[in-house]
Every structure is written in C-alpha cells, then in structure tokens.
C-alpha cells in the first residue's frame, strides 16, 4: 500500500468517526433527554462526554493533518476549490462543536446533581439542551457537506 492510499484510508476513517459519533451522540442524548429521568440523562451524558473526548476530539485533530497531507500528495492547493470550501465548513463545524462540548459537560453535571438530590432536571438544563440541539443542525449539515465535497470533488 502506498503512502497516499494509507493516508486516504485514515482520512476516510476519521470522517466516518466524526459523522458516526456525531449522529450517535445526538441520538442517545435525545433519547435520554426525552425520558426526563435525571439518572438516565446523567449516565448517558457521562458516556457522551467520554465519546466526544476519545473519538470526536481525536478525529477533529487528525482530519486536518490527513487532509492537508492528501492535498499535498495529490498536488491540490489547500485553500482553493472544493478543499477550501471543505475547510470553511470544517471551521463552521468547529464553531458549533466547541460550545456543544461545553454544553454537554454542563448537561451532565446538572443531571448528576438532580439525580443525587432526587429532584427534576432544572430549567437551566432544558435551556442548555435546546441550545445544544440547535447547534447540532449546522454542525451536522456542515459535516455532510464536507463528506459530499470529499467524494464529489466538484470543480469551481
């Protein structure tokens, strides 16, 4: 296997991890949230924060490295055409994801506190969850756009 193919496989795996982890986290958090059970939300949020730390953060770090390596190996200019648009969408994703990570930690902590005191989830939890939910849409749409650009490689 040549270097280009090896880096491309790593890049595709990273994209798959970002897309899959994002979709999985959203699904499991939404399902736990719908129960309004502080203990279930707390446990789910613990796993979500861990998954974001282990999987998403790792892929977020590796994607630009493997992407830049692929562009260099293939002779593409990094900031032009579909690669430039992919990078812009990557920034959009990051601008949504960073607050989402902080929100997930807060949601986890609020749910842990509610479960420990045997009280319902507080109003602050619901306000933060709504923001978390809203930020997920542009982030997920941007990731889908990046995947499409990677596959289609349109010429602009």
**For the whole model, what pTM was predicted?**
0.91
What's the confidence (pLDDT) of residue 156? 83
DSSP one-letter code for 153: -
Which pair of structure tokens corresponds to residue 135?
């930020």
CA distance 38 to 27: 17
Asked if pLDDT for residue 57 goes beyond 90, the answer is yes
What's the confidence (pLDDT) of residue 39? 98
The C-alpha angle 45, 48, 52, rounded to 5 degrees, equals 140
How does pLDDT run across 145-156, given as a tens digit for each residue? Answer: 999 999 999 998
Asked if pLDDT for residue 73 goes beyond 90, the answer is yes
Asked if pLDDT for residue 1 goes beyond 90, the answer is no
DSSP 76-128: --TTSHHHHHHHHHHHHHHHHHHHHHHHHHHHHHHHHHHHHTT-PPPHHHHHH
pLDDT-derived band at 114 (thresholds 50, 70, 90) equals very high
Q: What is the mean pLDDT of residues 62-85?
A: 94
What's the confidence (pLDDT) of residue 127? 98
For the chain, give the mean pLDDT: 96
Asked if pLDDT for residue 129 goes beyond 90, the answer is yes
CA distance 125 to 109: 9
The C-alpha angle 15, 20, 22, rounded to 5 degrees, equals 100
What's the confidence (pLDDT) of residue 38? 98
């Amino acid at each position: 296997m040549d270097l280009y193919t090896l880096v491309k496989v790593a890049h595709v795996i990273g994209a798959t991890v970002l897309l899959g982890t994002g979709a999985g986290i959203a699904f499991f958090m939404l399902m736990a949230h719908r129960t309004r059970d502080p203990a279930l939300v707390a446990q789910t949020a613990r796993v979500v924060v861990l998954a974001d730390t282990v999987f998403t953060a790792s892929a977020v770090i590796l994607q630009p490295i493997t992407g830049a390596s692929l562009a260099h190996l293939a002779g593409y200019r990094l900031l032009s055409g579909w690669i430039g648009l992919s990078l812009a969408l990557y920034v959009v994703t990051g601008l949504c994801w960073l607050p989402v990570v902080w929100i997930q930690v807060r949601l986890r902590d609020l749910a842990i506190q509610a479960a420990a005191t045997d009280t319902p989830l507080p109003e602050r939890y619901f306000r933060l969850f709504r923001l978390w939910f809203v930020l997920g849409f542009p982030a997920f749409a941007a990731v889908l756009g990046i995947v499409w650009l990677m596959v289609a490689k349109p010429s602009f």
